[in-house]
Chains A and B, each alone.
Chain A
Amino acid sequence: MKNKITKRMLLFRCGTIALLLLIAGLMFIVGRGHTVYFDNKKVSYDGKSIDTPPYRIDVYVNDERVAKLSAGDRGMCSWMGQDFRMRMEITKEKGGKKQIANVALKIPYNMDGIVLNLPALLAGFPQDGYLTEFVPAPAEVTAEDEEIVTDEFGLEGLDDGMEE
């Protein structure tokens, strides 16, 4: 009698589960992380090309400088969510004046790594022109299999042999 599940309670329970699922779903979207790579490199797209990238670009994300890119450099940062915002300070040539550009763009949900070609972005290329998916170099996967250590002492690297 005491623990009988009433209809009302069932409703509340379903509600809670739904709420949890909703939060989970929300976290999927809000928390989706991307690694954003910035290229300050030559680029050509659709016949147009930029051959001389700026001398230096400083990239600020959340008011924090995440990359200092000379021509030909690549930098990176992590970003959570799909609305990517950054500020760039561009120095066209050595000793030149700094230009500031604020950029906001949508990152496709299913891309883990995104390469942004900054010169192309600044030049106003269409999205395909400056945004490509980052594919990790296959060479990274070497045949060496790491040995699984299932028997470690755990906290702060004291090891003990578990069973024999």
Chain B
Amino acid sequence: MSNENATTKGNVLQTGQQKKKGNSLLNLLASNTVPIMFIIICAVCIPISGFSPAYLINEILTRMGRNTFLILALLIPIMAGMGLNFGMTLGAMAAEIGLIFVSDWQIYGIPGMVLAMIISIPISMLLGLICGKILNAAKGREMVASYIISFFINGIYQLIVLYMMGSIIPIKHTTVKLPRGYGIRNTVSLLNMRQKLDDLLAINVKGVKIPVATFIVIGLLCLFIVWFRKTKLGQDMRAVGQDMEVARDAGIDVERTRIISILMSTVIAGFGMVIYLQNMGNLSTYSSHSQIGMFAIAALLVGGASVDKASIGNVFLGVTLFHLMFIVAPSAGAKITGDSMIGEYFRVFVSYAVITIALIMYETKKRREKSQMAELLAAEQEADA
């Protein structure tokens, strides 16, 4: 009797799997809804916008160099099962503090960037540690919590930059400091650093500038991430990300591993922000960081990543598609509606909508997996009867 039952269960399981394979093409389409949607949007908008291919390629290469490093910072927390790290903003703030100092000390060019990065490391680590501890206390709500943390730390950042710099922390130059004697100006010029990394070893191919050095740096980070996955810590993070309890039973220090993942992400985000700002050439002291997390996350999701799974490939696909949309949308919008603001709002809307859709898909997938067992049982009952 028991024998019979057991084997039927086995069979049912197998048929279940076969059924899955039959739907694989559909699944492939379903799991890549977002990138496909974006390809369609871009395909419609590019001809309308009327930009030349050379211009588009140039723009995309620039933006790729500018943003990729930041987006890569998101991969590690996803690996550790902590979802999209909205707290990467913390790293960006650390980098900005570094850049403010460097700018006040008048350190130029790549040495200035390196110095800003080094200054950002301890700040990022401290902020990452705080963020990690809080997220450990808010398990299951990591994303909302990290999102609110970014606001909270933004308050503290403002406290430091707007009130303490110049009054407690020495700031010398009036180009950086507000005329009232303390606080940092709205914009800090990074002219002496502007695109210094991008221009290093840059190659010009038919009017398309390829920022080789930036890409080398990004490539190094990719290599680091690939290598990191092969380390013990990387393996532990994957284990923790998939099942915290099992990992804990096996002897992995779950809390610590999670903190480290956030900490690493914050430090990488700090470096990414320095690269980002050297390309922009100026620093909006109170706003540069505020939307960085959102745009990086949107780009990653556009690349086909989900809340629990993301690869380097997703990053590159995402940054290309997302920024292509970003470039063409305003002009396409203006051509269609005659109002230039429409396109601007449209791309903001799309960024948010993408994140919303990705979050919804993630949650519904979680629930769908739960209900699959019931189908199996019903099938088995029929097989029995």
Contact = CB atoms under 8 A, between A and B. Distances in A.
Interface residues of B, number: 38
A102 to B, nearest CB: 23
Given A112-B106, A158-B348, A145 B180 contact: yes
B111 A80 contact: yes
Sorted nearest first, the 4 A-B pairs with minimum C-beta distance are A31-B111, A33-B108, A152-B287, A154-B291
B107 A33 contact: yes
B337 interface: no
A24 B118 contact: yes
A34 interface: yes
Nearest to A113: B106
Interface in A124-139: 136
A78 to B, nearest CB: 6
A31 B118 CA distance: 14
A113 to B, nearest CB: 9
27 contacts: A3-B256, A24-B118, A27-B111, A27-B114, A27-B118, A28-B107, A31-B107, A31-B111, A32-B107, A32-B108, A78-B108, A78-B192, A80-B192, A136-B174, A141-B179, A143-B179, A144-B179, A146-B178, A149-B286, A150-B158, A150-B287, A152-B284, A152-B286, A153-B348, A154-B284, A154-B289, A158-B344
Contact of A154 (B121, B179, B292, B344): B292
Which bucket holds chain A's interface residue count? Answer: 20 to 34
A155 B295 contact: yes
A141 B173 CA distance: 11
A145 B345 CA distance: 31
B115 A146 contact: no
Contacts, number: 98
Interface in B66-97: none
A80 B115 CA distance: 14
Contacts of B179: 141-146
Interface of A: 3, 20, 23-24, 26-28, 30-34, 78, 80, 112, 136, 140-146, 148-155, 158, 162
A78 B112 CA distance: 14
Nearest to A153: B291
Contacts of B186: 146, 148-149
B36 interface: no
B118 A20 contact: yes
Contacts of B292: 154
B162 A32 contact: no
B109 interface: yes
B253 interface: yes
